[in-house]
Amino acid sequence: MASPTFRELHIPGKPFVLANAWDIGSAKLLAALGAKALASTSAGHAFTLGVKDMGDVTRQQSLAHCADLAGATCLPVSGDLENGYAHAPEDVAETIRQAGEAGLAGCCIEDASLPDTTPYDFAMAVERIEAAVQMARSLDEDFVLAARADGIMNRQYDTKEAIRRLRAFEEVGADVLYAPLPPSLEDLADICRSVNAPVNALAAGKFAKFKVEDFANVGVARISLGSALSRLIQATIVNSARQMFENGDFSSFSGAADGAEVEALFDKV
């Protein structure tokens, strides 16, 4: 039996984990360990470059990185493309065109006017997604365009406004809807009930305490990790380096992964 397409993985109430990778090695490890699909993470990628998330990485850098991820395994890859690296709808559409050329199976577009977290006004936010959808459909009917209402995460608007935006994004053709980190699981349930398209949830922050079944019970179709997994790696570096440089203590290295095991996992992909 053929593997499901990226679009076919999105089943409300039966969520899959969209595993966010930050380099080729992490992409291969996640694929070998059971991921069904991968995504980039704008923050995780920014950290590998030693810069800040949300505006410091260029479109060219991001799409080159996404192309590397797409070529690393046979899994579909969705790009975390921030606000499309542009404000004007036609420029967001150009980002989608280039995303298709990079080999991506889909992407996310945010409604925050980066590098500022202020959301675009309602009409502009919808116009930008509509332009992105039109370009996506001209590329490939299977390209999955996720529209994000980030103002709820950035504390710029409430759940009611997030739902208003997500409904409008759905009306202009967005394939997946995403309002990261709403106030509660019940708010997430309200979001899922308020739209027909598949909903993405973020397993980070206070939502990291929930399991796949909890997300399934409220109707989520996709669970992404954002930068959470990559920040675990950053935490290991920070904590181990502090022990080493401040206390001369190398004991944290005893928990390191076995190199041969890592290489064996690479060989599985």
Nearest to 133 by CA among 105, 168, 172: 172
Structure tokens at 5: 């397409």
For residue range 151-173, list pLDDT tens digits in order: 999 999 999 999 999 999 999 99
* Cα–Cα dist 74/59, whole Å: 24
Write the DSSP symbol of residue 179: -
Token pair for residue 158?
Answer: 């409430």
Q: How confident is the model at residue 4, as a pLDDT?
A: 85
Rounded Cα gap, residues 103 and 70, in angstroms: 6
Q: What pLDDT was estimated at residue 3?
A: 76
pLDDT the model gives residue 141: 76
pLDDT at 2: 66
Dist CA 60 CA 41 (whole Å):
15
58-61 long-range contacts (CB < 8 A, ≥24 apart) are 58/85, 59/85, 59/86, 59/95, 59/98
Reported in sequence order, the residue ranges of 103-239 that DSSP labels E, i.e. its strands, are 106-109, 144-148, 176-178, 199-202, 222-224
- The CATH architecture that domain 7-238 belongs to is Alpha-Beta Barrel (3.20)
Residues of the chain with pLDDT under 70: 1-2
Predicted confidence at residue 102, as pLDDT, reads 97
The CA distance from 119 to 121, in Å, is 6
How many other C-beta atoms can be found within 10 angstroms of the C-beta atom of residue 49? 11
| Dist. CA 174–CA 166, nearest whole Å | 9
| pLDDT for the residue 140 | 75
**pLDDT at residue 240, rounded to an integer:** 97
Predicted model pTM:
0.95
